[in-house]
Chains A and B, each alone.
Chain A
Amino acid sequence: MFQGLSWNPLTDMHQLFAYPFMVNALEAGTIVAVMAGVTGWFMVLRRQTFAGHTLSVIAFPGAAAASLAGLPLAVGYFGFCGFGALALAGIAGSRRSLSAESAAIGSLQALALALGFLFVSLYHGILNGLDSLLFGTFLGITTEQVVVLLAVAGAAVVLVAIAARPLFFASVHPDVARAGGVPVAAMGFGFLLVLGLAVAETSQITGALLVFALLVTPAATAHQLTARPVLGIVLSVALALAVTWLGLALAYFSIYPVGFYVTSLSFGSYVVVRVGRALGRRRQLTARLALEAA
């Protein structure tokens, strides 16, 4: 299963950093993991996972359209996710009810998937390309791509940091935040745009369909682990980094794709934490019952 793995950590580490393409992949993965960890924590808090998922589905026709037009994939990812975020913000802004909103988002998602399939059919390209659009690749990430990823992620993380407290306020207590002067609607709009950027970045590593491995699962795990906001964001980023690095390393030494490893690792950590919390609660309950019986 694992090829070229010496089982000597030092040799293996050395091997990992020996090729420029792998160094680029690790750099890109690190940037993406930080951005996904931060944005994902707010997305889970705001219960916008469905909107995030739709943006990731929109990333797929974006990338397909870019390859069709002979443009860099990043142009398609950022362009489509940006417009997708605008559309979602429009839906959220004009919403009559939550159910109407989720139905509208779902319709948008179906359209995006159909468009992506159309573009791929028109392209008649190598089938391999479709795989990496949907499920990710870490091969062939160029230094220029890393620079673009860093610039976008840096800008987005700085924006989130500046708006952190009003965004947190608007997310958990919108009525009071509005009365206190927080521009709640503008925050929601701005956050969707940042989320669109995060999805576009993450798609370039994990593929459009596995964006959630980095954007949702580490953040959801962090929310399970702690109710403290700062600690939660730090944990979310740490988990996203850990699964990215481990996933890239495992993919390097094996024949299986990176998306599979990143997804499995983050899902595994989520399951462990949920089961652990459930057991902890049960133990507390048993202890309380024993105390009452005594």
Chain B
Amino acid sequence: MSAMAASPKPPATRKEAAVSFEGAAVRLGGRTIWSDVSLTVAEADFVAVLGPNGAGKSTLIKAILGLLPLAAGTGSVLGRRPGEAKGRVGYLPQRHGFDPGTRIRGVDLVQLGLDGTRWGIPLPGTSSRKRDAARVAEVIELVGGSAYASRPIGELSGGEQQRLLIAQALVRRPKLLLLDEPLDSLDLPNQAAVAALVRRICEEERVAVLLVAHDLNPIIGYLDRVIYLAGGGAVEGPPEDVITSETLSRLYGAPIEVLHASDGRLVVVGQPEAPFVHGDRHA
């Protein structure tokens, strides 16, 4: 069962597609995870990737990153093949938090997003070094992490770690941001705060965001579109078009009902597996 507010934002004006998949499929170890997936994510769109466990949400992110090849169909990311636009794609993987003993400062972690792929040792005091430091400070300020960025990351709370990791993904001014379950393991106020932060980044930095989520509730009010993965396929569109009885029943291949609650929220019932329950946290 699922409860969602039906107050989606109007879709942004269509410009260059940040991500475009046509009839795409991914196979892992002989098993087809999903197939015939067609979707388009436009510039500065905030898109949630939803679906039950094992539907291939993280697989979609990895396919966009070019870490997994497409078994069929075509894919384009920022006008190039997946994996070829590395500098312009920010990525936050699914993770389980840093060990409390991790002795790495948050600011160093953010800095790695900027220069972690560069070879050689930087000379201190050069103008490019100062520019880098200024950019790191700027992006930490953007996520509101200036107060704790110089502390070891292992000593920070889950929400603080997540904000700094978003800063790391943002530091090279990407045009596409891929966030794999960034709200995982955060409490409800922090989930809403991080979702609001992502919405603000989306608008201010003109970056398209794909956010994998388990729980739609904290983010529904901030979204432009959703990609719903289930039953080996996907549906993409504005939330009010996707979260309907007809669409979800066709996707699951089983009768699904979307009920309209009196307060205007949507309630999804009858999902055959991994019930999409508010606050229900499956790993």
Contact = CB atoms under 8 A, between A and B. Distances in A.
A172 B152 CA distance: 12
B152 A179 contact: no
Contact of B112 (A163, A165, A179, A224): A165
A189 interface: no
Interface centre among B109, B112, B122 (most CB of A within 10 A): B112
Interface residues of B, number: 28
A227 B104 contact: yes
Given A161-B121, A164-B121, A177 B116 contact: yes
Of A168, A176, A177, which is in contact with the most chain B CB atoms at under 10 Å from its CB?
A176
A223 interface: yes
Given A161-B121, A228-B108, A182 B67 contact: no
A44 to B, nearest CB: 9
A42 B115 CA distance: 18
B113 interface: yes
Interface in A201-247: 223-224, 226-229, 232
B117 A175 contact: no
A244 B67 CA distance: 46
A179 B104 CA distance: 21
Nearest to B124: A230
Interface in B51-99: 65, 67, 86, 89, 91-93, 95
> Interface majority SS on A: helix, strand, loop or mixed?
helix
Contacts of B105: 227-228
Given A172-B104, A227-B152, A179 B67 contact: yes
A4 interface: no
Contact of A173 (B67, B112, B120): B112
B86 A176 contact: no
Nearest to A177: B116
Nearest to A228: B105
B108 A169 contact: no
The 10 closest A-B pairs by CB, nearest first: A169-B116, A175-B93, A227-B152, A227-B103, A179-B91, A227-B105, A169-B112, A180-B117, A179-B65, A181-B86
Contacts of B113: 176, 180
Contacts of A168: 112, 116
A229 B108 contact: yes
Interface in B203-239: none
A53 to B, nearest CB: 19
B67 A166 contact: no
Nearest to A230: B124
Contacts of A180: 86, 91, 113, 116-117
A175 B61 CA distance: 12
9 contacts: A162-B120, A169-B116, A169-B117, A176-B112, A177-B116, A177-B117, A180-B116, A227-B103, A227-B105
A181 B85 CA distance: 10
Nearest to A178: B67
B89 to A, nearest CB: 8
Interface residues of A, number: 25
Nearest to B115: A165
Contacts, number: 78
Interface of B: 65, 67, 86, 89, 91-93, 95, 102-105, 108-109, 112-113, 115-122, 151-152, 168-169
A158 to B, nearest CB: 10
A176 B121 CA distance: 20
Contacts of A161: 120-121
Contacts of B118: 165-166
B104 A165 contact: no
A165 B86 contact: no
Nearest to B150: A227
Contact of B119 (A166, A173, A224, A229): A166
A177 B65 CA distance: 12
A165 B118 CA distance: 7
Given A165-B120, A177-B116, 6 more contacts: A164-B120, A165-B122, A179-B91, A179-B93, A227-B108, A227-B152
Nearest to B93: A175
Nearest to B99: A47
Contacts of B168: 173, 176
Contacts of B65: 179
A180 B169 CA distance: 10
A253 to B, nearest CB: 37
Point out which of B103, B113, B120, B169 has the most chain A C-beta atoms below 10 A from its C-beta: B103
A233 to B, nearest CB: 11
* From A164, A173, A179, A228, residue with most partner B Cβ within 10 Å: A179
A226 B151 CA distance: 10
Given A227-B104, A227-B152, A181 B117 contact: yes
B122 to A, nearest CB: 8
Nearest to B66: A179
B4 to A, nearest CB: 30
A153 B266 CA distance: 65
A210 B119 CA distance: 33
A165 B116 contact: yes
B176 to A, nearest CB: 12
A265 B151 CA distance: 29
A226 B108 CA distance: 12
